Structure 1
């Protein structure tokens, strides 16, 4: 029986192809946009075709990977026709209804929110003092 060193087979090309396939599979496994549960696979295929005299064979080596597909990204679009111009339109709105206001609409360029003329910290909801920009700690306030 013939012994074949797979590391040296086809001038080391089989090892190179396998290493590249393993890298591709591992990268796919770490991709948060793919399902974690799907199995991944690497298939090494060696095909031999001999000549009529049976003294020579052409050998083809291929390495294929099966990875998990990237999960689709869902969004929503409002579609319609502008009654004034007659043009059709499509406008993405995601989780927010079309025309509905969001907190981002109230943010200043620094990322602060302005509510009733007062600056509000968007992370904590606390009102910042207007004079020096410090956050007012309402937990330290004395109870009546």
Structure 2
């Protein structure tokens, strides 16, 4: 077997191993993130660039540790379009699932309009 030239744990006073572990932890966090595709491949690269002097006696080594994480998943929503008092276009996020549809918000137990605004039945003349 060939003689080991460099111990990667000690190379650059341990900085190579330190950067590798740092970037690996970042990739593991990316894998654990539920907002990323679990099947996407992630990449960790160690690039060593060697530049020798004219006499080819010494080589400077540039160490680069790079990762390619999975991108975050895209999100979607729906806007209800309207016009304000001055006639300018405006919008609000649709909360009910259908324009002009009221819904029961199970988180706070209130009836709300399609934009998530609480409906005040007393103000509308209701007696309860």
Aligned residue for 1:103, secondary structure, equals: strand
Cα RMSD after superposing both structures: 2.2
The Cα of 1:62 is off from its aligned counterpart by: 0.9
Are 1:78 and 2:80 matched, yes or no?
Answer: yes
1:5 corresponds to: 7
After TM superposition, the score normalised by the length of structure 1 is 0.67
Are 1:35 and 2:37 matched, yes or no?
Answer: yes
Aligned residue for 1:4, secondary structure, equals: coil
Superposed counterparts of 1:44-123, under 5 Å: 44-82=46-84, 84-94=85-95, 96-104=97-105, 111-112=108-109
Q: 1:2 to 1:17 in 2, by over 3 A?
A: same
RCO higher in structure (CA 8 A, sep ≥6) = 2
Q: Which has the larger radius of gyration?
A: 1
The aligned length equals 109
Q: 1:17 to 1:86 in 2, by over 3 A?
A: same
Q: Distance in 1 between matches of 2:109 and 2:83?
A: 36
- Contact 1:47/1:60 (CA < 8 Å) preserved in 2? yes
Q: Distance in 2 between matches of 1:15 and 1:23?
A: 12
5+ unaligned residues in a row in structure 2: which ranges? 112-128
Range with bigger deviation, 1-10 or 34-43:
1-10
Aligned residue for 1:28, secondary structure, equals: helix
